[in-house]
Amino acid sequence: MKPETIIPKDAGDEIMEVLVDGLQRDLKEDERELVDRWTSSFDKPERATIINMLKELLNKHKRHD
């Protein structure tokens, strides 16, 4: 799978969206805070890597369902 090269300026929000889609539920407030703290230190390449990894995991999970 070819990694995506376009990083939206709201990549932290995209990470949150991928997690919500994968879990198929809204995150609790403490979970949102944890993800925000976790992603706040990422630079653009790190965000891209995490987003791509999460999407790949989500796609593999969907194929097995």
Which pLDDT score is estimated for 39?
Answer: 92
4-57 tens-digit pLDDT: 544 455 556 899 999 998 899 999 999 999 999 999 999 999 999 999 999 999
d(CA 16, CA 51): 9
Burial 5-31 (b: 16+ CB within 10 A, else e): eeeeeebbebbbebbeeeeeeeeeeee
User: Rounded to two decimals, what is the model's pTM?
Assistant: 0.67
Instruction: Please check the confidence at residue 1 and state whether its pLDDT lies above 70.
Output: no
What pLDDT is attached to residue 12? Answer: 63
62, pLDDT greater than 80: no
Residue labelled with tokens 């890597």: 49
